[in-house]
Each structure stands twice: as structure tokens, then as C-alpha cells.
Structure 1
Amino acid sequence: MKCNFDIVSLFAGAGGLDMGFESEGFKTIWANDIDSDACETHRNWSNAEVVCSDIKKTGLESIPDCDVVLGGFPCQGFSASGPRKLDDSRNTLYRYFVNVVQKKKPLAFVGENVKGLLTLGNGVIMEAIINDFESKGYKLYYQLLNAADYGVPQDRHRVILVGLRKDLEAEFIFPQPTGYVTLKEALAGIPEPDPSDVCEAPFSSRYMSRNRKRDWIDRSYTIPAMAKQITLHPSSPDMIKIGQDEWMFGEGKTRRFSWQEAAVIQTFPRDMKFVGNLVSKYRQIGNAVPPTLAKVIAKQLYSTLEEAINMKKKVAI
């Protein structure tokens, strides 16, 4: 029997994570973000109720019941000091995510975070997070994935966390790599951008501290959220190393990816409309989970939940 799973999405941004899940049969019914441009972008493609507000001021009772909670909680307050730092004031968003899971008791939750989460405190922080969710009735699975292994044309290493409610008696297995896409394949047919769609801010010493350019037959470096730090288009000349943490541009025209090219590299649809100014568009794109990666995780989770639920129905009969 085909199952229907409703999603609540926290820190949803433009909705890259939600978009990937919706393509695999999930339905986002409620989403939240503090960025008004990102909320408007989300509304442009989804039918969810998108609440633009500070999530810390949103009462849990106003969030609808759901089957799955999605979100990537920030981790600035996680420290090598030990598990007590889970209660650091800067981790309010992490605590809110946990509280939503505890209150709504979804079948599952999915989180995304930077790879540094695994090594903070020599692994003590991750252990504390596992214990935190275990105490709320969930078994946590996590793995460091490179989006480039799943059809995303960029190296983007992120920790994916999947929690399953223990009474489901289910196991989650992370999907195997699905394939490699080059910049040439991803950007095929995209016309030269209008100058107004490309960040043309000066290149800082931080920018020039490492190589920022990859070739057409390769995949991009990670697409960041800061417009000034956007990777170079492969038509740019190669960068030349001239010292420790110091590079220079070669001869020729050098430019960053346009926001449209960055969006395609993040695997958003080519006709995706992003609301806001140039800096805002780059920020929304860079902060997102690539929909193609989200789709692969969603497909695996859907299968896991469907099997567990149908098995329980058979046992009940």
C-alpha cells in the first residue's frame, strides 16, 4: 500500500531539502525560515504553509503534527569543552529541533550539518547528540557524504543525520553512490550571463589564499553562501600558486559563477526563481541542501518507512 508522509521543515531556506523529498512522494505541509527572501522563494514552488519568523519565538503548539521533520541545525556553539555545550546559548536552534522532534514524535527526522560536526571535541559532541536523540526515543544514523557521489556537480561534504523512531523497529542504510556529473554536463546550454547576475566584488586576500577554479571535465568546488567567495567559472584561466596560501590569476577573463550557474550546480531546476538581490540569491543557493542529494536520501527513507509500516500492519492482522 502506498504511504503518505507529511513533512515539517525547520530552517527551510529556499527549500532544497524539501524539494528533494517532495520529488519522492513526501509532502511539505509547514516550513519555517527567518530569511524573508528565502521564504518567498520557497512559496514560489511549494504548496506548504511557509512561516517567516524567528523559530525560537514560534510555539511548538503552532507546528502541525507530521511524519517527518527536516532541518539542518547550526552548530556554532558546539565546543570541545564537552557534552554540556549542547546547552550553550548559541545552540538554541539545535535545542529547538530536538524539542520539535520530542513534541511531535514523527516517524523520522533528517538533519544536515557540516563535516566538522564529527570531529568536534574528538567525537564527544557527536556522541552527546546521539545520546540526546536516543533519550527521546530515536535511533540515530549518520554518515559523511560527498554530494558529488550522488549526481551533484560539486564536492560538498556534509554529515547527514537520520533518526528513526524506535517503535518502528526499522534500520536505515545510507544509499550507495549514484553517479558523477561534470561541470560540462551540468552547465551545457547555459548562455553567458548578464553582468548583473555575477558577483563582481573585489577578490579578497582570503579568496586568493587557495585555488578557486576547476575545469569543465571536473566538478566544482563547494558553492558557498557568500557572494564574494563564489567559485570561478571553468572558462576562467587557471590560477597560479605563488606562495604559501597565496595564488594569482592567469592571463585572460576571470569571473565567478553567476547565481543561475551556482543554482544549477546545486541541482536546483534551471527555471527556479530566487527572490531578492544578488547577494541574497547567492546566500539562498549556497545555504541549501542540493535537491538531488536530498532526493536520494528521501527515496531511501521512503522505502524504509513504507516497509516498516506495512510490516506492522501485517503483524496486527
Structure 2
Amino acid sequence: MSETNPANYTVVEVCAGAGGQSLGLHRAGFTHSMAVEIDPTAASTLASNLAAPVAVGDVADLQVWDPRDHVGATLFAGGVPCPPFSIAGKQLGTSDERDLFAWAIEQVSVIQPRAVMLENVRGLSSPRFAAYRQHVIDKLDEYGYVGEWKLLHASDFGVPQLRPRFVLVAMRPDDHAYFRFPDPILHDNNTVGDALFDLMAARGWEGALQWRQLANGIGPTLVGGSKKHGGADLGPTRAKQAWAKLHVDGRGIADAAPGPEAPSPVDWHPRLTIEMAARLQGWRIEDNWIFNGRKTSQYRQIGNAFPPPVAEAVGSQIRAALDREGSPRQDIGQSVDLHDPVYRALSGSSHALSMADLVRAHNEGSLATVERKITALAHDFELEVTTDATGETRYRLGAFKGFTGQQEHMRHNFVSQHRNRVS
């Protein structure tokens, strides 16, 4: 990537992976001053394609990089680990040693960028993490930023797969007034068949045109997976079944496109190649992106990436806000807005609250609803539960359990002992 950025809008990116977000932000006009990635092979991919320093190692290790060296960067961005919030996992949140979202928010106070962009899986948008999300917004407010969440679908931005991503953007109030999440971009022929036809036909497969017509739909989310699981395939059973309906064999990754002798796509389903997987994730021919490592590692890098077109769309809107394009928004204030009533009541009270207090604060739900929220809160916060003189149970919100850089946190031992499992 050799283009220049005349406005000199810089980005520091953590948990950068193989560079899907990096590429999208570059297209949007940002220049990397630093990228950090723990996986050595993904980091080598970044170094092969990104004209910027790439630090290799645990992003929370000050010996790997020091956020204080990047004070004043225009944008702080990243795709922090997804397993803590994934619906496919246990949704452990702060109890998952890989959780880095809260740590990333702490770096905002250090780097003091004009804008923040962090993305994760759809699971983070679920009711289970309502208080976690609000804690993030509260911390940003404390640091002088207005934060806003949005669930975006890659298929709305020309990527022929579902791939929902939950994106947080935060800015100083004066800049945030001009920020709007991108609207869906209509694309003609945005199907798996259309996206991959030239690659499927590259070696002379006579069935390529018919396959294009049969693969006439949006694919399920590509699943890169973590180092704990599996090899290069297209995901769990349900995902493989969805790919089969598009006449794609999801049981593995091919070394090459089908040759002239390959059977009809009615009788036989081709497998994707690494190049095809990258195309489905939003990499273009002209990007000339090189993925390092063996096939399984390359596929995992691609499958775990933030699609470049989505990163570009959000990044372009951030840049437009920084340039104060358009008119200020009227639909949102320039200060934090609390969304979870139970968390709001507990975090704003100096004394313990009863269940009756919390039901009244919730205002729209039942006792069972509030009980579920309290259970979810207890996963991510210390929750003091006491019984008063009348026998009534009372609740007081304690410290957030998340990793924010504490020297004594369990995450340090986990990373040092199980580094090959961290992705």
C-alpha cells in the first residue's frame, strides 16, 4: 500500500490480525503509525503488506509496544478478541482470559485520539452484555468521548456473506456531532457466484457458469476459528449445510480452482481456495494482498478478519466527521446516554438497593427480567449481596472484573502459559 494521506490522519491499530481493518482504513484515508498483533504469522502478513511498524506480541505487554509513544494519533482502532462475546462460545465476557475490550478503552485515556473504532461479534450486542456495554460508554464519557454502538452487516457493503459485526465509534463531542454510521450500499450481483465466477473459471472448468447461477445467494459467515479448534474448513455443521445450498463443499479448502475435468456442479460441489475466501471477505484483486503461512493459517487469518469494505465504510464516515462534513446531527446528544436501567440504578446509588427498588427503576419489566439482569451483571462486576434487618435482600454494585492492565490479573498467567492458544 503506497498511497499517501495528504491530511496525515494516522491510526494506531491493535489486534490487527492479517489486516482486513487495516486495508479498509487505508482505503478511507488513514495511515498506520503502528499495528500490533500477537500471532507471528498474521503479523508477518501485516509486515508484508503494510508500510508501517508492526509490533509482534501480547498487545497488553509494554515491552511489545507502549501506547504512550502514540499520544495524539488521529484514530485508535482494533478488532479485539471475539470469543468472550461469541454466541457460539460460552459468552464468558470478563471471565474469558482473552477479553481485551475494557483494556482497549483504557488506552483511549493514554493515546487521546480524536476518534476510536473497535469492532467485535454480534454477541456483544446481546442483553447478556448490556451492563458491559454501558460500562464502556461510561468510561469513554469519563475520558471526554461520546460513544455509539451499531450492528453492521457485511452484505450491506458489497461483501457476499452475512457476517454481522458490532462496531463502537467514539469521538470528542464536537466531532461526534458530525458522525453518522454508514448507510447500506446497494450492489448489483452481490452473490457468492458473481464474486467468485472468474476464480472458479480460471482453470477452464466447463461447469463454472452453471455453478455461478447455482451459487446465487449470500454465503454464511466465514469462520476462521481460534487456535484451539480445527483446521481449514468453513465452520460448524450448520454453516457447511448453508454452503452446500450454494453448491460449495465446506469441508475443507482447496489448493486450486476446479480444472477442465471437474464434474458438473449439479453432481459435485467445489471447495473454496484461499484466494476465493479472501474475495468473499472483501479483498480485491488490485489490493495485491499476500497472506503468509500455511494454508490453515492463511484461511484462519482471512476468516477472522474484519471485511475491508466495512472498515472502509466506517472509516470514511469517521474521516468525514473529523473534516466536519455535512451538518451537525440532531438525533443524538453530545453526552453519554445510559441504556440499562438496572445498571444505571446500581451504579448511581451510594447505598444498597432492594429488588423492589430495581424493579421500579427498570420501569418496564418484571421481577424475572430484573433477576436476569442481576445475574448478567454478576458475571462482569463484583456484586455485593446482603440481607437487611427486615430480611430483604439488597444489592450494591462493586468493581468491574474486566482486564484493564492490572499486574495481578489472571490474564498474564494465561498468556504466558498458553500463548499458542491466544488468537
Cα distance in 2 for partners of 1:160, 1:301 equals: 12
Give the one of 294, 308, 321 matched to 1:277: 294
TM-score, normalising length from structure 1? Answer: 0.77
**Could you tell me how far 1:98 is from its partner in structure 2?**
1.5
Matches within 5 A, 1:235-274: 235-236=247-248, 252-270=267-285, 271-274=288-291
Does the CA-based 8 Å contact 2:68-2:111 persist in structure 1? no
How far has the Cα of 1:298 moved from its partner? 1.2
Report if aligned partners of 1:174, 1:297 keep a CA contact under 8 Å in 2. yes
Q: Map 1:142-153 to 2 at 5 A.
A: 142-153=149-160
2:7 matched to 1:3? yes
1:216 match:
215
Letter in 2 for 1:60: D
Q: What residue is the counterpart of 1:190 in the other structure? A: 199
TM-score (norm 2): 0.59
After TM superposition, give the deviation of residue 121 of structure 1 in Å: 2.2
Letter paired with 2:197: A
1:305 aligned to 2:316?
A: no
Output the amino acid matched with 1:143.
Answer: K
> Is 1:133 paired with 2:140?
yes
Residues 146 and 155 of structure 1 are in contact (CA less than 8 Å); yes or no, is this contact kept in structure 2? yes
The change in CA–CA distance for 1:255 and 1:176 in structure 2 (over 3 A counts) is same
Task: Spell out the pairing of 1:1-317 with structure 2 (5 A cutoff).
Answer: 3-58=7-62, 60-61=66-67, 63-65=69-71, 66-74=73-81, 76-77=83-84, 88=95, 90=97, 93-121=100-128, 123-166=130-173, 168=175, 170-180=177-187, 181-191=190-200, 215-226=214-225, 227-230=232-235, 232=243, 234-236=246-248, 252-270=267-285, 271-307=288-324
Task: Show the counterpart of 2:333.
Answer: none
Q: Distance in 1 between matches of 2:117 and 2:271?
A: 32
Provide the rounded CA distance (Å) in 2 between the counterparts of 1:237 and 1:122.
35
Q: Tell me by how many angstroms 1:192 deviates.
A: 6.0
Q: Which residue type is aligned with residue 161 of structure 1?
A: L
Deviation at 1:175, TM superposition (A): 1.3
**How much identity, in percent, do the aligned residues show?**
29
Spell out, residue by residue over 1:177-230, the C-alpha distance to the aligned partner (whole angstroms, 9 max, x if none). 102411222113114689xxxxxxxxxxxxxxxxxxx94221111111042335
Relative distance call for 1:165 and 1:148 in structure 2 (3 A) is same
Distance 2:84 2:25 in 1: 29
- The 8 Å contact of residues 139 and 163 in structure 1, kept in 2 or not, is answered as yes
2:416 aligned partner = none
Aligned residue pair count: 273
CA contact (8 A) 1:75 1:94 kept: no
Give the match for residue 339 of structure 2.
Answer: none
Root-mean-square deviation (Å)? 2.9
Give the letter aligned to residue 229 of structure 1.
L
Task: Please state how far the C-alpha of 1:75 moved relative to its aligned partner.
Answer: 5.3
With 172-181 and 115-124 compared, the bigger mean Cα shift is at 115-124
Distance 1:62 1:40, change over 3 A: farther
How far apart are residue 165 of structure 1 and its match? Answer: 1.9
Mark the CA change 1:78 to 1:217 in structure 2 (over 3 Å): closer, same or farther: closer
Deviation at 1:102, TM superposition (A): 0.9
Query: Is the contact made by 2:12 and 2:75 (CA closer than 8 Å) also made in structure 1?
Result: yes
Residue 102 of structure 1 aligns with an amino acid whose one-letter code is: S
- Decide whether the 8 Å contact of 1:237 with 1:252 is kept in 2: no
The answer as to whether partners of 2:146 and 2:176 remain within 8 angstroms in 1 is no
Distance 1:189 1:134, change over 3 A: same
Q: Note closer, same or farther for the CA distance 1:91–1:132 as it changes in structure 2 (3 Å cut).
A: farther
Aligned partner letter, 1:147: A
Q: Is the 8 A contact 2:249 2:270 kept in 1?
A: no
- AA aligned to 1:303 is A
- Flag the 1:237–1:14 CA change in 2: closer, same or farther, 3 A: closer
Determine helix, strand or coil for the equivalent of 1:190: helix
Structure 2: gaps (5+ residues): 1-5, 87-91, 204-212, 226-231, 251-264, 329-423
Cα shift at 1:119: 1.1
